[in-house]
Structure formats: C-alpha cells, structure tokens
Structure 1
Amino acid sequence: MSSMRELALSLGSDRLRADLGLKWLIPTRRSPPCKSNRDERIKRVPYVAETYVLPPGSTVTPNTTIESAKFNTFLNDIATAQNAARPVVGGGTGAATSVAGNDGLNTQGADIASGATTNLALATGVYVNITGTTTITSFGTVLAGSERVLTFTGILTLTYNATSLILPGAANITTAAGDVGTFRSLGGGNWRCVSYLRANGGNPSNSISGTTIILKQSAAPAPTAEGDIQWDTDDNVVLIGDGAAAKTFVPIPASTAAGDIEYFTAALIKARLAKGTAGQVLRMNSGATAPEWGTPPFRTSFESTQQTITSAGLLTLAHGLGVKPKLYAVVLQCLTAEHGYSIGDEVMCAQTRQTAGGGGERGVSLVPDATNLNIRFAAPATVFNLIHKTTGAAVEVTNANWALVARAWA
C-alpha cells in the first residue's frame, strides 16, 4: 500500500483508528432520519448568523474510534443540505430555482399604517400596502440600497424634502387609492422615489417642470382625438380635441386685471374692457359695436311702507339715499274697495294740491332733503279726491280706506 491511510481503508472494517493520523468529522448522535423529511436533514447542518459551523463533537479526538456508518450518514446529510433549497436564515432563498428564489426574496408584507414617520424598517416584505391618510414626512432608517414597493390605499400627502424624501418634480405628492411608488433607501433615514405610477395614469406631481412643450402647429388645425392639442398659427388660438370635434381656447388680452370684462371683437379675437367705477352700469356704445360703462340717471331708490292718512298730519320718512333725491312721488294704495277701486289698486296722486268745488285744498306737500321725505297732509277731513274708476266722476275718498306710499330716486 502506498500509505497508511490506504491501508486503513482496505481493511474493510467498520472501525478506523484515529491513531493512524486521520482526522475525520463525526456526526452528533441522532435518531434515524424520517422518511422524505428534507427539512429535518437541513436542520442538522448548523448555521450561525448565516455562517456554517461544524456541529459539536465533529472533530476527531486522537486515539478514538470512528464508526463509518455514522460518519457516512453525516456526510450524506451535508451533501443533501448543499443540494436542497436552503432557507433564508441559512443563506439561501428557500427555493430550488432562480425564479422561485427571486420570488422568495420579493414577498408581500403586512399592511403598514401611515404616520409622520412610516417606518419601513418594520416591513415584513418588500411589497407593502400603506393604509390611512396621515401625511408622511419620513420612511425611517433602512440599509442603504434597500428597495420597497408601496401601494397607497387612500389619499395622503408625501412631503418632499431635498435630502430625506426626494420625490419626482421636487414637489409634494398627493396620493390616490391604487397609486404605486418604488422607494430606495439612501441610508441614514434618507429615501428617493425612483418610480411613481398613478392609478389614473397621470403625472406624479400633477405638473410638468424642467421641460418645454411644443404643440403641433398649422394654419387650420382640426384635432378631434380626445386630448389632442394643436396651435392655430393663423388665429393664435389653441384647439383641443374632445373625441368628436375641436374645442377652441382663445388667449386672454394683455394687461387684463381683476374686475375687467372680456368681449369679442371678432370670432376668435378678445378685447379687454377695464372695470368701471362704483355705480356705473354696463351698456352698449352708441355705435352698437362694443360694451361700455355708463352712469345711470338714478343709482339708488327708496320706497316707504304703507303710511296712515291723517288730516293735517306730518310724515318724516328717512330715505337713506345719502343725497337729496332727484325724483320723488307719492301713490295711494286701496285698502278697502270703494269708488270702483279694488283692494290693492294703486293710484298716482298729485303731491301739492287737489281742488274740489268749494271743498278747499286737498292732497299733500312733499319736501325732500338729503335725509328725509317731509310730507304734510292737507287739512280737510277728506285729504284726497280721486276720479271714479268706472264713471269718471270726482269723488272724495275715505282716509281709512287708503294708504300712502312714498318713493324717491337719486
């Protein structure tokens, strides 16, 4: 034999002597393996912090006997473990193929409720649903390079920060149910959103920045496809398709300010009418070509409540116009039917005097000032005379059957 080792192996005995200078691994004592129990075999291969270590008692002690059956069984267990799916804690993926291994490392974790700090270090998988509506300013501290895919189940705000929460467009994002964002840890509690998909297909920040958009242009565009935007170089207007036809959008005139009014001077040309002054009204100009502001003859008015008619009585009615009225009048309103008049009928009456043959002066005297309408009733027992509604004859009205209402304009 060429060596003592070969001699020992040629003996065919189940017992080998360690004093031949051979150091072999020996298994720890165990029960016979269960039928098809791969997990039990894997457990016999010890790992500490994902590092393989020899089981206790595996090292040969000099001058002790090694039993080949037990030793060979232990070697077979190692071979089985090396060729079987290894759990993550043992440095594997828990799967037997590359695809299954990738799937095993990209699992969905339990939902996490939103909070000011939504701590992704607590995630039980790389794919997580974020519930709730609380504004998020931080995702906590996770090993740099780690990635989390988040689906938001409601509306909340992701607060942009140039260091700790970097978002597309350098602006806050308001989420919607079904939005999906992919976030990568930069370490130290800092995160970058590397992808954000709106559930409705829209832009993450609802705005476009840092780019120039040049619209399709022609002298007579006619977009019909929904959302198709084109610029009319002839009329300087924007046309947008609505799925059936084109909607036209005309630019606002230059220097437009609050309170101004826009009007068309042609089919696709707008002009600006600057706001008027207090009390002015909008009217058509004398050429009937454009609107303009104008000052009306009266800007405000006053109407009293029904006043009791009293012979020789005085009424002082505050009109609140702020100035002396330009126009004023008094009317009689029928309270009880007489002389052909019905309840509710209104009759204009003279303000200064009414003469009834031999009956003396009738009517009222109305003197306005900047504050009041000063009304004095005539002295006769019957203050007013009227014309009969149906016969035309002069008649005296009963004071109690009528009320006086005063009006003024300024």
Structure 2
Amino acid sequence: MAWQRQGTVSCTQNSPTVTGAGTAFVSNSRVGDAFLGPDGRWYEVTNIASDGVLAIQPVYQGTTVAAGTYAIVPIQGYNKASADALRLATKEFTEGTSSASENAAKAEQSAAAALESQGAAAGAADTATEKAQVATSAASTATQQAQAAAGDRQAADSAATNAGKSASDAKGYRDQAAQSAASIDTSKLVNKAGDTIAGPLNWAPRVDVADSATPAIGAAASNSVNLIGTTTVTGFDALASGVRLVRFNASRTLRHEAGKLDLVGGADLMTAAGDTALFEARGSNGWRMAFYQRKDGKALKGSSDGNAQILKATSTAVGQTTFNFPTGYTVGSPIWYQGTLLDSQDYTATDGNNVVLQVGAKSVGEIMTLFNVAGTLVSDPTKLPLSGGQMQGALDFQAPITIADSATPAIGASGSNNVVLAGTTTITAFDVTAAGAIRWVKFSGSRLLNHDATKLALLGGVNIQTNAGDMAVFRSLGGGNWEMLDYTASLPPGSIFSKEWTSANQAISSNGRITLAHGMNVVPKMSSLELICLVANAEYSVGDVIPLPNAQGTSANFGYQLKWSTANVVIMYAAANLLVLVNSGTWTTLNTAQWAVRVRAWA
C-alpha cells in the first residue's frame, strides 16, 4: 500500500494533535501507522478522530507549522520483504546517527548526519513499499512477516528516539563549546613557542612618566612614554625584558653607567625637548639604549665638533671642586654651571687639563663647556662662530631703529637689521659696512631713491618714489655699495593697486617733452598729470593742485599727453599757455614759471 500524502497538515509544537486539510485519515490510515511530520521526524499514529484530525506520539517536536507536507506509512499487515526493507532503512538510520554519540567534538555534524539518514530511510521506505506490492502476491507467510515488521518498527522507533537524544546531546555539546569560547579573554596574549602575527600589534597610546632620577618606564602602561622633567636620569626601574620608546619633553642629563644605563657612545648625554630614544630592558643588567634621535635630525656628535660637553667632578674639597678637561681645552675659555656662565674669578686653571672651582662659586655637580669646530673651546660666548653651520633656534632681530633724515642714511651702522628711514630727502647712497649685511628698511614718508648702478642699484635700474609704509630689503656689497633685493609698496585697506608712483615736480616748457623713469616695471592701470602751484597766481595759492586733462584738438592751447612703457613715462605738452578757470568762471592764462607739473600713477 502506498504512503499517504494527500492534502497538508498543521502541527503545533509540543501538541499531539495533527489537523489536516484535504486529507482522508479514516480511509487511508490506521492506529499504529507511522507518521512522518513536516519536521522530518517519525511519530506513531495513536488515534484517528476524523478525516481531518488524528493524534500522534510523542508530541510534535518540531516548530509549529501550518499547511506542511507529511506522510503516513502503513506498518501493520505487510509481508516480510516490506519489513526487511524497513529494517534495512532503520539500520542505516541508526548507523548514521550513532556517530553523534561517539564524537562529542563533532556532535553538531553527527546530528546533521542523523537527519540525512532519516531522509535516506524515507527514500528507502518508498522503494521498500514498491517491492512490497510485488512481493504481496507471492508471499505465503505474510502474517509472520508482518509480525517481524512490527518488531522492526519498534526497533526503528527506538533508533529514532536515540537519534533525537544524539541531536539533543549534540546541541548540548555545541552550547558548551560556545560557552567555552565566550569564556576566553581575547584581550590577553597567549604564550606561544613561535608563530607569525597575522596583523599589526599596536601599542597603547603614549603615557607620561613623572620626573625622577630613576623614571618608572618599565611599569608604564605603554611601550611609548613621554619623560617629564629635567632631573638627571641615572637609571630606570627594573623590567625583565621589553622595549620602551622614550620622548623627552625638556633638556636633562642622561648619566651613562655600564650594566645599569648603557648609553650610545658610552658617555653622558644632554637631551633636548622633542628628542627620542629607544631603550631595551635587560633584567638585572639594567637598560641599554638602542638608538638616540635628536628632534632637529642631527646625529650625536662629540665635543670637538661644536656640541656641548658635560664634565663630571673628579674630586671635591671644602669650597672647591676639581674637573678634568679633555685635550683641547684652552685656559680662560668659558665655563657654564647649571645654565650660568661663570666669571673668571669663580674658577682657576691649574694646568691644561684641570679646572678648580673656588670658594663662592658653584661647588659641586657638573659643568659644561662648549668647543668650536677646531677642537678648542669658544673664547667669547657673546660671538657666534660664523664659519658655517646650522642654527638651533630662531635668530631674532633687535627692535627697529629710526634713522634721521639724510641723503646717505647710515643704515649699515644701525644697531638693528630693521630700520625706519625718517624724512623726505632724496637718497643717493647708504653708509659703508661689511659686505653681506642685510637691512630691512621701512620708509616713513614719500621720498625719491636715486638709482646708481654702483652705489645704489635699485630694482629695474630706475629711480623709485617711495610712499609712507613702503618696505625694501637692501644688501651691502662692501665699500659703501648697496643693492636692492626687494621692494613692497604699502596698500591701504581695500586697495586694488599694489604699486603707486609719484614723480618729482617738473618745470613747464612750451611744447615740452619730458621722459621720466617710474620704477614700477609695469604699465600703470591709472595715471594723472597735476599742476602744482609754487607761487600764488590767478587766485590760486601755494600748494594748490589742478589735474590736467588730455590734450584735445589740433588747435588747443592747453592739455597734455602721457605715453607709458614698463620703464618710462613721456610727458608731451601743447603750447605753454595753460588756460584754467578762476572764481569768476572765466578762463585765464597761468604764469607757468610759478607752476610745476608732476605725474602720479597706480599699478
């Protein structure tokens, strides 16, 4: 008899009731048949209430399902071949599920295998049913075979129960494994005999270590530390093994001592703010400096090439301390103690290698000397050795100094690189000073700078009219000769021009033509020609300014024309009879001897 799959069923988890839709339970099944639920599990039919309702045992194990597929497998009253086939299916099922209990570590896989075996059993049962139909007509002992099949059915039920237990056990093992994994502290490193890191091993953020003679860098919560303070460092705290990247925030002495604080070069070091060093902990052997990097990028150097050298006291007595100086020390050279330059009365040189600090001076500790590039101590600490090198900080100028009005202002002799030139006198040259001197000059008013290719070489090779606030840079060529390196015109707020030029007053001549060098090095964007009253004339007063229009017409007796190039401007006059309006509203002819003209331009 074929398996019954007509319609669909609805099953509720932990309920024995199966509700069918389109089913015929009364005519197609009987109590004791096997029910294959939508969850793939096997159950026994214990009661058939109607074509649409039956009961199973055990209660439904799967999740609640509506309109699920099912199968009812006839068990009772079939021949031996059918029973044998079913027994074979249950045997395969039992063998497939037994692996779950044999290996707890692979319990999850075993449970899956058990479910696959159940599916295989279902397929085998289909085949067995077909064979049973063929065997029914030839079987003579069907009743005995049915009884045997009933026994095999019980075995199958037992196997299914065991499979369910195996699956339950597998879930338990899986939960235990998940709990074990969750209990592992992944923030801790595990000791390994050797392996390869699959990703970066990042340090904790840099931490500050307090000022001390023996800073506790080993106990720091990071491999990167910031060493605070200026106290001389004689060692670090104990650490069996490890490295620390140390950044110094100030100048301090690192005291070399073999076996405790081994420094590169085997000598004391003076740090600077921003310097870094890498130290390796060696347990009872203290710490070893692996490298030292100055912030300015310069390598560590000895005393003979310009760096400061720290000297330790070799002996002390009441009121005095003796220091041994290295070869190259010059008696009378400067000595610093704790940042202070000592006076000669504070120390006495006993020979070329020893210095004794006397009573009243700094009595004990350490002193510092400074050698120059030749290997001898700098004899005058107020002077810089200008044979070359690199400054270690900013070189600040003195405050600007104002220089009195003159045709040859003494900018070379000024006490500052910044000078302010007062006055309006035309400048023809500057004073004599050494070649290479640089002066930043600010002009306080409008004045003319006369170009001279030797004495005062100006930009563009032309005269320049300054304005208040303009700036220029000059360099001495020696012998009183100077060259202009830069010129910057001052701009009022919101100005659209970067350059402005005003010519000197020019005499007026009939049908005149005057060529002037303007020094702007560009053709201006705007320009004008102005009449300047020098002597009162025609109701105009001294200082009055009258803008002149462009020349108009071929017969005009007034006006002008300006012709511009990047270097010069050419003023071209009409007749000398300049006509202007007076208060009466009539035109009058000016006395040109009492007037001058000047050009103004903006670029």
Greater C-alpha radius of gyration: 2
* TM > 0.5 fold call: no
Q: TM-score, normalised by structure 1?
A: 0.34
TM-score (normalizing by structure 2): 0.24
